[in-house]
Chain A
Amino acid sequence: MAFTPVFHSEWIKIRTLRSQVAALATIVLLTTLFSALAASDTGGDDFDPLFAVFFGVAFGQIAAIAFGTTAVSSEFQGGALRVSLAAVPHRGRWFAAKATAIAVPVFAVGLVTGVVTLAVGKAVLGAEADGLGWAEQVRGVVGCAVYLTLMALLAAGLTAVLRSGVATLSIVIPFLLIVSFVVGDASSDLADLLPDRAGQVALHETWDGAMGPWTGLGVTALWTAAALAAGAWSVRRRDA
């Protein structure tokens, strides 16, 4: 079986669910809203104009994670996976198509999110944003899209392992909102390797850790690759 028809099928599944389309729209809304709020507060010594503009990504990623999670968890309801795998017995190919159908829209929406949040954030910042160069702005927009895509795929892989959207979200969301903040404040070198902290380096104008923006996204990509590999292994090995 070729990959394209399977991808087409998975893409139809995503765009015909209102909740999935709503989750994509929520990425843009949440990110822009929280970026605008953050940009209105320019106090503090560690003020970073680029991160002020992309601050909302920390919230928009929750919608991206919800998107990746539900795209996979819907297969574990009512025997849907059996229908999918009866149509596509090549399970590895099926899972690759599912991941691609998640990645493509999140990346596209991530680019839109980056452009919108940049425009809104700069408007709110006013003169404070004057120091931002073109290269940094482009890096921020692309980094935002790549980061959101990697987080959605991370959640998708995890959901395939746990076979439950509730289980995935109850691990990932508290992790991002609590663990990462707490551990992050300790600011050890290990905490910098957490998937969200590593990836978000790309959203800063300056950074002090060893990792630059692209190495940071590379670290996040490793986490995502591990989650997807575990998910693919689970889909291939277990009875449907």
Chain B
Amino acid sequence: MTSIDVRDLTKEYGTRRAVDHVTFDVRPGKVTGFLGPNGAGKSTTMRLVLGLDRPTSGTATIGGRPYAALTEPLRHVGALLDAQAAHGSRTARDHLRALAASNRIPAARVDAVLAESGLASVARHRVKTYSLGMRQRLGIAGALLGDPEVVLLDEPSNGLDPEGIVWIRELLRRLAAEGRTVLVSSHLMNETASFADHLVVLGRGRLLADTPMRDFIDARVQPHVRIRTTDAGALKSTLAEHGLDAVEQEEGHWTVAHARVEEIGTLLSAAGVPILELTFTEGTLEQAYLDLTATETEFTAPHQEA
């Protein structure tokens, strides 16, 4: 199985350090979300992995080899970097045919990925007639062309309609389930939460997190039970008897950390405490991400490159 290994990778443009001693692995069989604000170095890292930019120091390898050492690389690695890369005056089909020919990929794959991306009916239209969402689909079709075991997608949901968002989510889940290595950058939290298993977070070129998504959220936002009642005194005392600490929130509801609804519901019911609402609330990726950004100077520094 093929993983992407980034080791102490650094890229400087003049005096600006776009990627700063970053080390992480992207493992097969799961979707790794690549998060960070604009200018954090996500796209630069992807270009370095693909051998398009030369690192200042450090290495990025795929299956232990630098990208440039791969023979017919599209058969191993598929990438979407920029939806505008296809020439507007060429048809989608011709664009992919040229790409396929360079790596001796059979022409049948062109029609297969066009169908898979939902572009079969417009395959012979020129790309300049395409919407951003259709160009995005064409870029993804190009990434899948060589049936690669490693897939890198830079902001694939950009410009996609709701149907397209669902499509890309299911596609990413399927690619991971097939045992492929999938790295997807995004700055949309809810979107990333819907498909990622693992997270790599960059801020101003530095690695801020490299953890499973669930751990990332749970470490930063405690799951809790949310309760509303008309008898706050009874609620508090009943829970205190069982060693549970109810905290009153500004909006007038109470929260109990490290608890389960089954437990609290039974307790309160037995004690006859009137309940208006009882829900279990898990932290969201967005909350966890914002918590991280609040604590990291990488995000709050006044000078933020776009």
Contact = CB atoms under 8 A, between A and B. Distances in A.
B97 interface: yes
Contacts of A9: 98-102
A221 B81 CA distance: 38
Interface string B74-88: 100101011011110
Interface residues of B, number: 34
B219 interface: no
A240 B52 contact: yes
Contact of B47 (A10, A80, A239): A239
Contacts of A83: 81, 85-86, 99, 142
A219 to B, nearest CB: 35
B18 to A, nearest CB: 11
A156 to B, nearest CB: 17
B101 A5 contact: yes
A131 interface: no
B94 A89 contact: no
A104 to B, nearest CB: 16
A126 interface: no
Nearest to B97: A12
Interface stretch (B27-35, B65-73, B174-182, B233-241): B65-73
A194 interface: no
A17 interface: yes
Interface in B2-60: 47, 50-54
Interface in A73-114: 74, 77-80, 82-90
Given A1-B71, A19-B89, A79 B102 contact: no
B51 A77 contact: no
A18 B91 CA distance: 11
A203 interface: no
A89 B84 contact: no
Interface in A198-240: 239-240
B72 A1 contact: yes
A5 B102 contact: yes
The winner among B50, B70, B82, B99 for most chain A CB atoms within 10 A is B99
Nearest to B66: A89
Contacts of B260: none
B254 to A, nearest CB: 53
Contacts of B74: 86-87
B53 A240 contact: yes
B104 A5 contact: yes
A6 interface: yes
Contact of A16 (B68, B71, B90, B102): B90
Contacts of A78: 82, 84-87
Nearest to A6: B102
A10 B53 CA distance: 22
Interface string A1-17: 10001101110110011
A86 B101 contact: no
A79 B98 contact: no
B211 interface: no
Q: Which A-B residue pairs are the 7 nearest by beta carbons?
A: A78-B84, A9-B102, A79-B82, A16-B94, A89-B68, A12-B98, A9-B101
10 contacts: A5-B103, A9-B98, A12-B94, A16-B90, A16-B97, A80-B87, A82-B85, A83-B85, A86-B50, A86-B81
